[in-house]
Amino acid sequence: MNKIAIVTGATSGIGKATALKLAQLDYQLIITGRRSERLNELKIEIEDKFEIKVLPLAFDIRDKEATSIAINQLPSDWNKIDLLINNAGLAAGADPIQDGLWSDWEQMIDTNVKGLLWLSKQIIPGMIERKSGQIVNISSIAGKEVYANGNVYCASKHAVDAITKGMRIDLLPHGIKVSSVAPGMVETEFSVVRYHGDETKADNVYKGLTPLFAEDIADTIEFVVTRPPHVNINDILVMPTAQATATYNHRD
Ligand code: NDP
Ligand code: 8X3
């Protein structure tokens, strides 16, 4: 029987690339996000290419009730989740702390921190019962460093780092692997979302350098989930060659 993976935020970027990668690895896939049309298109794409089943679940990860219903009402052939990829997330805004919008802050904390926690809380008990499972949390260079105007996004990703460490400690006796994958700049819809749809500002983020692509992070996740049972990758920081730290970039 195929192992079952759930990938949150699979409608674009890192989540979509990861779903495609896990399909190659023969995982039966649950894909989530708010944009149901994109989920359905990805289901068709994956099922056409690979001999696996895909279950799209459209819900807002900030909505506790919708999240609980989605997970707790999974059919019996889908509810034994082996691998949880906590990827759904965003940066909203890039303003100094005194100018930040409360609505942006709430969106980031509710998605990146509370959404990740609540979804994990629905899935972890089954992993404990079966004494196996793996959780990969997508953190960021912003979870390691704080940069100008990154304030609350950086705080949310520092929280992801701390939650990952906490999960690893608490789930240790239950045989559950917990990892963090922390990317630097990856060209996805991330910057368009961060700048509230301003494509010019988003393009400028990647101007003059080659960023990472979503597939680079999917490759890293492949490495993390294909280690032998006795090996866990605790934390992996992946940067573009043109980026040394959160703020030192080399542009042509
Ligand atoms: P994208 O914007 O391309 O993808 C974000 C995904 O998250 C989408 O599928 C989106 O789905 C989903 N998502 C956002 N909000 C919600 C919500 N409320 N409910 C459900 N799903 C949601 O960005 P990336 O692929 O780059 O981002 C993926 C992760 O990687 C994020 O956690 C991000 O912080 C992290 N990251 C990104 C980096 C980058 O430079 N791109 C670097 C380091 C980390 P939908 O809109 O359909 O709901
Ligand atoms: C996304 C990368 O550098 O914008 O997490 O924080 S960065």
Q: Is residue 9 part of a domain?
A: yes
Query: 243 lies in a domain?
Result: no
C-beta of 113 in contact with ligand 1 (< 6 A): no
Kindly report the protein residue whose alpha carbon is nearest to atom 6 of ligand 2. Answer: 142
Q: Is residue 251 part of a domain?
A: no
> Ligand 2 test: best mutation among 185, 193, 205, 216, most atoms within 8 Å of CB?
185
Which residue out of 27, 153, 195, 206 is catalytically annotated?
153
- Supply the pTM of this predicted model: 0.99
62-80: per-residue pLDDT in tens?
A: 999 999 999 999 999 999 9
User: Cα dihedral sign for 134, 126, 22, 69?
Assistant: negative
Q: Is residue 248 part of a domain?
A: no
pLDDT in tens, 86-99: 999 999 999 999 99
Q: Is 122 within the bounds of a domain? A: yes
pLDDT at 224 over 90: yes
Q: What are the tens digits of pLDDT across the range 133-180? A: 999 999 999 999 999 999 999 999 999 999 999 999 999 999 999 999
Q: Is 88 in the pocket of ligand 1 (CB under 6 A)?
A: yes
CATH number where 23 lies: 3.40.50.720
| Closest ligand to the CA of 212 | 1
Ligand 1 contact via 138 beta carbon (within 6 Å): yes
Nearest-CA residue for ligand 2 atom 4 is: 185
Range of the domain at 227: 4-238
The question of whether 153 is a catalytic residue gets the answer yes
Task: Identify whether 252 is part of a domain.
Answer: no
CA-CA-CA-CA dihedral for 205, 208, 214, 215, to nearest 10: -170
Mean pLDDT for the chain? 98
Residue nearest to atom 12 of ligand 1 (CA): 9
Q: How far apart are the C-alpha atoms of 219 and 117, rounded to whole Å?
A: 25
Q: Which residues sit opposite 181 in a β-bridge?
A: 138, 236
CB of residue 63 inside a 6 A radius of ligand 1: no
246 found inside a domain: no
Q: Is 81 in the pocket of ligand 1 (CB under 6 A)?
A: no
CA of 129 to the centre of ligand 2 (A): 36
CA of 186 to the centre of ligand 2 (A): 8
Residues 6+ apart with CB under 8 A from 238: 181, 182, 183, 184, 212, 216, 217, 220
Q: Give the alpha-carbon dihedral of 234, 64, 107, 120, to 10 degrees.
A: 0
Q: How many domains does the chain have?
A: 1
Look at residue 59 and tell me if it is in a domain. yes
- pLDDT in the model for residue 1: 82
